[in-house]
Amino acid sequence: MTKREALTYDVIIVGAGPAGLCAAMYAGRGMLKALTIERGAPGGELLNTDLIEDYIGFESIKGWELAQKMADHAKKFGADIVTDTVDRIHKRADGWFDVETARGNSYRSQAVILTAGGTPTKLDIPGEKEYAGKGVSYCAVCDGAFFKGERLAVVGGGDAAVEEADYLTRYASKVHLVHRRDDFRASQIIQDRAFANPKIEVIRNTVVPEIVGNERGVTHAVLENKTTGERSNLDVGGVFIFVGFRPNTQLVDAHVDHDAGGYLITDNRMMTSVAGLFAAGDVRSQLTRQITTAVGDATTAAIAVEKYLKSLREGDGKSHK
Protein backbone atom coordinates (compact mmCIF):
# COMPACT_ATOMS: atom_id res chain seq x y z
CA MET A 1 0.00 0.00 0.00
CA THR A 2 1.40 3.40 -1.01
CA LYS A 3 1.93 5.70 1.94
CA ARG A 4 0.00 8.93 1.53
CA GLU A 5 1.21 12.36 2.54
CA ALA A 6 0.13 13.23 6.08
CA LEU A 7 -2.65 15.76 6.50
CA THR A 8 -2.05 18.30 9.26
CA TYR A 9 -4.48 19.35 11.99
CA ASP A 10 -4.42 21.29 15.23
CA VAL A 11 -5.74 18.31 17.16
CA ILE A 12 -6.68 14.73 16.33
CA ILE A 13 -9.40 13.07 18.41
CA VAL A 14 -9.24 9.28 18.44
CA GLY A 15 -12.68 7.80 19.09
CA ALA A 16 -16.17 9.20 18.62
CA GLY A 17 -18.06 8.00 21.64
CA PRO A 18 -19.57 10.59 24.00
CA ALA A 19 -16.12 11.85 25.01
CA GLY A 20 -14.85 12.11 21.44
CA LEU A 21 -17.97 13.82 20.14
CA CYS A 22 -17.96 16.31 23.00
CA ALA A 23 -14.27 17.05 22.43
CA ALA A 24 -14.97 17.53 18.71
CA MET A 25 -17.79 19.95 19.49
CA TYR A 26 -15.63 22.03 21.83
CA ALA A 27 -12.71 21.96 19.41
CA GLY A 28 -15.03 23.33 16.74
CA ARG A 29 -16.27 26.04 19.08
CA GLY A 30 -12.65 26.92 19.79
CA MET A 31 -11.99 27.34 16.04
CA LEU A 32 -9.44 24.55 16.05
CA LYS A 33 -8.78 22.51 12.94
CA ALA A 34 -9.72 19.11 14.34
CA LEU A 35 -10.15 15.62 12.98
CA THR A 36 -12.08 12.88 14.76
CA ILE A 37 -11.36 9.28 13.76
CA GLU A 38 -13.86 6.55 14.64
CA ARG A 39 -13.69 2.92 13.55
CA GLY A 40 -17.48 2.53 13.48
CA ALA A 41 -20.55 4.72 13.65
CA PRO A 42 -20.28 7.74 15.98
CA GLY A 43 -21.61 6.99 19.44
CA GLY A 44 -19.37 4.25 20.80
CA GLU A 45 -20.96 2.21 23.58
CA LEU A 46 -24.12 4.32 23.32
CA LEU A 47 -24.98 2.23 20.28
CA ASN A 48 -24.91 -0.90 22.45
CA THR A 49 -27.18 0.59 25.10
CA ASP A 50 -30.91 0.31 24.65
CA LEU A 51 -32.26 2.94 27.04
CA ILE A 52 -30.44 5.68 28.94
CA GLU A 53 -32.04 7.24 32.00
CA ASP A 54 -29.05 8.75 33.81
CA TYR A 55 -27.92 11.47 31.41
CA ILE A 56 -28.98 14.85 32.72
CA GLY A 57 -31.63 16.58 30.64
CA PHE A 58 -33.04 13.37 29.22
CA GLU A 59 -35.34 11.43 31.55
CA SER A 60 -35.27 8.58 29.03
CA ILE A 61 -33.61 8.32 25.64
CA LYS A 62 -32.49 5.51 23.36
CA GLY A 63 -28.74 5.03 23.14
CA TRP A 64 -28.68 5.39 19.34
CA GLU A 65 -30.79 8.55 19.57
CA LEU A 66 -28.46 10.23 22.05
CA ALA A 67 -25.50 9.22 19.86
CA GLN A 68 -27.16 10.84 16.85
CA LYS A 69 -27.90 14.03 18.76
CA MET A 70 -24.31 14.24 19.98
CA ALA A 71 -22.91 13.65 16.49
CA ASP A 72 -25.25 16.24 14.95
CA HIS A 73 -24.31 18.78 17.62
CA ALA A 74 -20.60 18.23 17.01
CA LYS A 75 -21.03 18.52 13.24
CA LYS A 76 -22.97 21.76 13.68
CA PHE A 77 -19.75 23.28 14.99
CA GLY A 78 -17.73 21.89 12.11
CA ALA A 79 -16.59 18.52 13.44
CA ASP A 80 -14.83 16.48 10.76
CA ILE A 81 -15.49 12.80 11.54
CA VAL A 82 -13.94 10.07 9.39
CA THR A 83 -14.51 6.33 9.57
CA ASP A 84 -11.21 4.52 9.94
CA THR A 85 -9.28 2.48 12.51
CA VAL A 86 -6.29 4.05 14.20
CA ASP A 87 -3.37 1.62 14.28
CA ARG A 88 -0.66 3.78 15.82
CA ILE A 89 -0.12 7.07 17.60
CA HIS A 90 3.54 8.08 17.55
CA LYS A 91 5.13 11.20 19.01
CA ARG A 92 8.12 12.37 17.02
CA ALA A 93 11.27 13.99 18.34
CA ASP A 94 10.09 17.39 17.07
CA GLY A 95 6.99 17.20 19.30
CA TRP A 96 4.46 16.43 16.57
CA PHE A 97 2.22 13.36 16.59
CA ASP A 98 1.81 11.00 13.66
CA VAL A 99 -1.49 9.11 13.64
CA GLU A 100 -1.61 6.16 11.24
CA THR A 101 -4.70 4.22 10.26
CA ALA A 102 -5.64 0.82 8.87
CA ARG A 103 -6.63 2.38 5.53
CA GLY A 104 -3.13 3.70 5.00
CA ASN A 105 -3.93 7.28 5.96
CA SER A 106 -1.51 9.37 7.96
CA TYR A 107 -2.40 12.47 9.95
CA ARG A 108 -0.24 14.91 11.88
CA SER A 109 -0.94 17.24 14.79
CA GLN A 110 0.69 18.82 17.83
CA ALA A 111 -2.03 17.50 20.14
CA VAL A 112 -4.04 14.30 20.38
CA ILE A 113 -7.09 13.59 22.54
CA LEU A 114 -7.44 9.86 23.11
CA THR A 115 -11.10 8.99 23.64
CA ALA A 116 -10.97 5.44 22.33
CA GLY A 117 -12.87 3.99 25.30
CA GLY A 118 -12.49 0.42 26.34
CA THR A 119 -13.83 -3.03 25.73
CA PRO A 120 -15.57 -5.21 28.33
CA THR A 121 -14.15 -8.72 28.36
CA LYS A 122 -16.72 -11.14 27.00
CA LEU A 123 -17.42 -14.69 28.12
CA ASP A 124 -17.88 -15.69 24.47
CA ILE A 125 -20.66 -18.14 25.28
CA PRO A 126 -23.93 -18.95 23.49
CA GLY A 127 -26.61 -16.38 24.27
CA GLU A 128 -24.26 -13.61 25.36
CA LYS A 129 -24.30 -11.74 22.08
CA GLU A 130 -27.89 -12.65 21.27
CA TYR A 131 -29.22 -11.13 24.52
CA ALA A 132 -26.87 -8.16 24.82
CA GLY A 133 -29.11 -5.25 25.79
CA LYS A 134 -31.95 -7.71 26.40
CA GLY A 135 -30.85 -8.98 29.78
CA VAL A 136 -27.10 -9.26 29.29
CA SER A 137 -25.25 -6.19 30.54
CA TYR A 138 -21.74 -5.02 31.40
CA CYS A 139 -22.78 -1.98 33.45
CA ALA A 140 -24.83 -2.15 36.65
CA VAL A 141 -25.10 1.62 37.01
CA CYS A 142 -26.37 1.93 33.43
CA ASP A 143 -28.91 -0.89 33.46
CA GLY A 144 -29.64 -1.89 37.04
CA ALA A 145 -32.83 0.17 37.31
CA PHE A 146 -34.42 -1.87 34.51
CA PHE A 147 -34.44 -4.97 36.73
CA LYS A 148 -36.51 -3.89 39.72
CA GLY A 149 -37.75 -6.93 41.62
CA GLU A 150 -35.89 -9.37 39.36
CA ARG A 151 -33.46 -12.15 40.25
CA LEU A 152 -30.09 -11.44 38.69
CA ALA A 153 -26.80 -13.20 38.09
CA VAL A 154 -23.46 -11.43 38.31
CA VAL A 155 -20.46 -13.23 36.81
CA GLY A 156 -16.96 -12.44 38.08
CA GLY A 157 -14.75 -12.35 41.14
CA GLY A 158 -12.88 -9.06 41.11
CA ASP A 159 -13.62 -5.69 42.70
CA ALA A 160 -15.99 -4.66 39.90
CA ALA A 161 -18.07 -7.84 40.05
CA VAL A 162 -18.48 -7.81 43.82
CA GLU A 163 -19.14 -4.06 44.02
CA GLU A 164 -21.67 -4.20 41.20
CA ALA A 165 -23.43 -7.20 42.77
CA ASP A 166 -23.82 -5.17 45.95
CA TYR A 167 -25.06 -2.18 43.94
CA LEU A 168 -27.65 -4.27 42.09
CA THR A 169 -29.32 -5.34 45.34
CA ARG A 170 -30.97 -1.94 45.50
CA TYR A 171 -33.09 -3.04 42.55
CA ALA A 172 -33.05 -6.84 42.44
CA SER A 173 -34.93 -9.20 44.73
CA LYS A 174 -31.89 -11.51 44.71
CA VAL A 175 -28.39 -11.37 43.23
CA HIS A 176 -26.48 -14.59 42.55
CA LEU A 177 -22.74 -13.87 42.40
CA VAL A 178 -21.16 -16.59 40.26
CA HIS A 179 -17.39 -17.07 40.38
CA ARG A 180 -15.28 -19.72 38.72
CA ARG A 181 -12.94 -20.03 41.70
CA ASP A 182 -13.35 -20.55 45.42
CA ASP A 183 -11.40 -17.43 46.35
CA PHE A 184 -12.36 -13.98 45.13
CA ARG A 185 -9.84 -11.44 43.80
CA ALA A 186 -11.87 -8.53 45.18
CA SER A 187 -10.38 -6.69 48.15
CA GLN A 188 -11.41 -8.06 51.52
CA ILE A 189 -13.31 -4.97 52.60
CA ILE A 190 -15.43 -5.09 49.44
CA GLN A 191 -16.09 -8.80 49.96
CA ASP A 192 -17.06 -8.32 53.60
CA ARG A 193 -19.58 -5.63 52.77
CA ALA A 194 -21.16 -7.49 49.86
CA PHE A 195 -21.24 -10.94 51.45
CA ALA A 196 -23.01 -9.51 54.51
CA ASN A 197 -25.83 -8.37 52.24
CA PRO A 198 -28.73 -10.82 52.69
CA LYS A 199 -29.79 -10.32 49.06
CA ILE A 200 -26.52 -11.76 47.73
CA GLU A 201 -25.98 -15.48 47.26
CA VAL A 202 -22.43 -16.53 46.40
CA ILE A 203 -21.96 -19.45 44.02
CA ARG A 204 -18.33 -20.60 43.94
CA ASN A 205 -16.34 -22.88 41.63
CA THR A 206 -18.96 -22.40 38.94
CA VAL A 207 -18.95 -21.12 35.38
CA VAL A 208 -21.72 -19.96 33.07
CA PRO A 209 -21.42 -21.88 29.77
CA GLU A 210 -24.66 -20.53 28.26
CA ILE A 211 -27.31 -17.82 28.64
CA VAL A 212 -30.82 -18.72 27.55
CA GLY A 213 -33.84 -16.58 26.79
CA ASN A 214 -36.77 -15.90 24.52
CA GLU A 215 -38.16 -13.01 22.50
CA ARG A 216 -38.69 -11.03 25.72
CA GLY A 217 -35.12 -11.44 26.98
CA VAL A 218 -33.04 -13.60 29.32
CA THR A 219 -34.88 -16.39 31.16
CA HIS A 220 -32.03 -18.28 32.81
CA ALA A 221 -28.31 -18.89 33.02
CA VAL A 222 -26.84 -22.36 32.73
CA LEU A 223 -24.45 -23.11 35.59
CA GLU A 224 -21.69 -25.72 35.53
CA ASN A 225 -19.91 -26.82 38.69
CA LYS A 226 -16.18 -27.00 37.90
CA THR A 227 -15.59 -29.76 40.42
CA THR A 228 -18.40 -32.15 39.53
CA GLY A 229 -19.24 -31.01 36.00
CA GLU A 230 -22.91 -30.99 37.00
CA ARG A 231 -25.11 -28.51 35.17
CA SER A 232 -28.20 -26.70 36.41
CA ASN A 233 -30.39 -23.79 35.39
CA LEU A 234 -30.54 -20.56 37.36
CA ASP A 235 -33.74 -18.63 36.68
CA VAL A 236 -32.81 -14.95 36.31
CA GLY A 237 -34.04 -11.97 34.36
CA GLY A 238 -30.59 -10.61 33.71
CA VAL A 239 -26.91 -11.56 33.62
CA PHE A 240 -24.30 -8.91 34.45
CA ILE A 241 -20.79 -9.81 33.30
CA PHE A 242 -17.73 -8.32 35.01
CA VAL A 243 -14.75 -10.46 34.07
CA GLY A 244 -12.52 -7.63 32.91
CA PHE A 245 -12.33 -4.38 30.96
CA ARG A 246 -9.51 -3.39 28.65
CA PRO A 247 -8.93 0.31 27.95
CA ASN A 248 -7.94 0.92 24.35
CA THR A 249 -4.58 2.49 25.17
CA GLN A 250 -2.40 0.14 23.13
CA LEU A 251 -2.57 2.58 20.21
CA VAL A 252 0.13 4.78 21.73
CA ASP A 253 3.56 3.41 20.92
CA ALA A 254 5.29 5.21 23.80
CA HIS A 255 5.16 4.63 27.53
CA VAL A 256 2.36 6.62 29.15
CA ASP A 257 1.89 6.61 32.91
CA HIS A 258 -1.03 4.39 33.88
CA ASP A 259 -2.58 2.68 36.89
CA ALA A 260 -2.61 -1.04 37.69
CA GLY A 261 -5.59 -1.58 35.36
CA GLY A 262 -3.88 0.06 32.39
CA TYR A 263 -5.95 3.27 32.55
CA LEU A 264 -4.05 6.44 31.70
CA ILE A 265 -3.19 8.84 34.49
CA THR A 266 -3.79 12.51 33.70
CA ASP A 267 -3.41 15.86 35.40
CA ASN A 268 -6.33 18.22 35.96
CA ARG A 269 -6.12 19.33 32.33
CA MET A 270 -6.54 15.72 31.15
CA MET A 271 -2.95 15.71 29.86
CA THR A 272 -1.05 12.45 30.24
CA SER A 273 2.64 12.06 31.04
CA VAL A 274 3.30 12.56 27.32
CA ALA A 275 3.12 16.28 26.54
CA GLY A 276 0.37 17.02 24.05
CA LEU A 277 -1.39 13.68 24.58
CA PHE A 278 -4.69 14.14 26.40
CA ALA A 279 -7.10 11.43 27.54
CA ALA A 280 -10.82 11.54 28.27
CA GLY A 281 -13.53 9.04 29.09
CA ASP A 282 -13.08 5.33 29.66
CA VAL A 283 -9.34 5.29 28.88
CA ARG A 284 -8.62 7.55 31.86
CA SER A 285 -8.01 6.43 35.45
CA GLN A 286 -10.96 7.59 37.56
CA LEU A 287 -13.57 6.47 40.05
CA THR A 288 -16.48 5.88 37.69
CA ARG A 289 -17.08 5.64 33.97
CA GLN A 290 -20.35 7.21 32.88
CA ILE A 291 -21.52 9.33 29.96
CA THR A 292 -21.52 12.36 32.23
CA THR A 293 -17.91 11.86 33.32
CA ALA A 294 -16.82 11.20 29.73
CA VAL A 295 -18.20 14.48 28.43
CA GLY A 296 -16.82 16.32 31.47
CA ASP A 297 -13.35 14.95 30.78
CA ALA A 298 -13.69 15.87 27.11
CA THR A 299 -14.77 19.43 27.83
CA THR A 300 -11.68 19.97 29.96
CA ALA A 301 -9.40 18.24 27.45
CA ALA A 302 -10.59 20.27 24.44
CA ILE A 303 -10.27 23.59 26.24
CA ALA A 304 -6.86 22.55 27.61
CA VAL A 305 -5.71 21.66 24.08
CA GLU A 306 -6.60 25.14 22.89
CA LYS A 307 -4.48 26.66 25.68
CA TYR A 308 -1.68 24.15 25.07
CA LEU A 309 -1.44 25.02 21.38
CA LYS A 310 -1.47 28.71 22.19
CA SER A 311 1.45 28.21 24.59
CA LEU A 312 3.39 26.37 21.88
CA ARG A 313 2.84 29.19 19.41
CA GLU A 314 3.86 31.81 21.94
CA GLY A 315 6.83 29.72 23.00
CA ASP A 316 8.40 29.09 19.59
CA GLY A 317 6.84 31.92 17.59
CA LYS A 318 5.58 29.51 14.95
CA SER A 319 2.11 29.45 13.48
CA HIS A 320 0.27 26.16 13.86
CA LYS A 321 -1.22 25.26 10.50
For 214-272, the pLDDT digits (tens) are 999 999 999 999 999 999 999 999 999 999 888 999 999 999 999 988 999 999 999 99
Q: Considering 215, 241, 267, which residue would you say is the last residue of a domain? A: 241
Is residue 206 located within the same domain as residue 295? no
| pLDDT band, very low/low/confident/very high, at 319 (cuts 50, 70, 90) | very low
Is residue 217 located within the same domain as residue 263? no
The answer to whether residue 128 is domain-embedded is: yes
User: What pLDDT was estimated at residue 316?
Assistant: 58
Q: Write out pLDDT tens, residues 151-162.
A: 999 999 998 899
With CA atoms as reference, report the closest residue to 137 among 157, 118, 123, 149: 123
Q: Tell me how many domains the chain contains.
A: 2
- Cross-strand bridge partners of residue 239: 136, 153
CATH number, domain containing residue 134: 3.50.50.60
Is residue 12 located within the same domain as residue 152? no
Is residue 87 located within the same domain as residue 180? no
- Cα–Cα–Cα angle for 265, 116, 128, nearest 5°? 110
| pLDDT band, very low/low/confident/very high, at 321 (cuts 50, 70, 90) | very low
Q: Considering 192, 222, 241, which residue would you say is the last residue of a domain? A: 241
| pLDDT band, very low/low/confident/very high, at 1 (cuts 50, 70, 90) | very low
Q: Considering 241, 264, 288, which residue would you say is the last residue of a domain? A: 241
Is residue 128 located within the same domain as residue 209? yes
Is residue 223 located within the same domain as residue 144? yes
Is residue 47 located within the same domain as residue 194? no
User: What pLDDT was estimated at residue 281?
Assistant: 95
- Cross-strand bridge partners of residue 12: 35, 112
With CA atoms as reference, report the closest residue to 270 among 283, 288, 289: 283
User: What pLDDT was estimated at residue 246?
Assistant: 87
With CA atoms as reference, report the closest residue to 220 among 206, 198, 238: 238
Task: List own/partner pairs for 83-88 with CB under 8 A and 24 or more apart.
Answer: 83/38, 83/39, 83/40, 83/41, 84/37, 84/38, 84/39, 85/39, 86/14, 86/37, 86/39, 86/116, 86/251, 87/251, 88/251, 88/253
User: What pLDDT was estimated at residue 4?
Assistant: 66
Task: Residue 66: give the domain boundaries.
Answer: 7-119+245-316
Q: Write out pLDDT tens, residues 95-119.
A: 999 999 999 999 999 999 999 998 8
143 is catalytic: yes
User: What pLDDT was estimated at residue 245?
Assistant: 83
Is residue 15 located within the same domain as residue 81? yes
The answer to whether residue 321 is domain-embedded is: no
282 is catalytic: no
- Average pLDDT (183-197) is 93
Identified catalytic residue from 54, 84, 94, 142: 142
Mean of per-residue pLDDT scores for the chain: 93
Q: Write out pLDDT tens, residues 30-52.
A: 999 999 999 999 998 888 676 78
The answer to whether residue 152 is domain-embedded is: yes
Is residue 131 located within the same domain as residue 77? no
User: What pLDDT was estimated at residue 3?
Assistant: 56
User: What pLDDT was estimated at residue 254?
Assistant: 92
Model confidence at 25: pLDDT above 50: yes
Is residue 137 located within the same domain as residue 197? yes
Decide: 162 and 177 in contact? Cβ < 8 Å.
yes
Is residue 106 located within the same domain as residue 250? yes
The answer to whether residue 161 is domain-embedded is: yes
Cα(130)–Cα(277) distance, rounded to whole angstroms?
A: 38
Q: Write out pLDDT tens, residues 72-94.
A: 999 999 999 999 999 999 999 99
Identified catalytic residue from 10, 22, 143, 166: 143
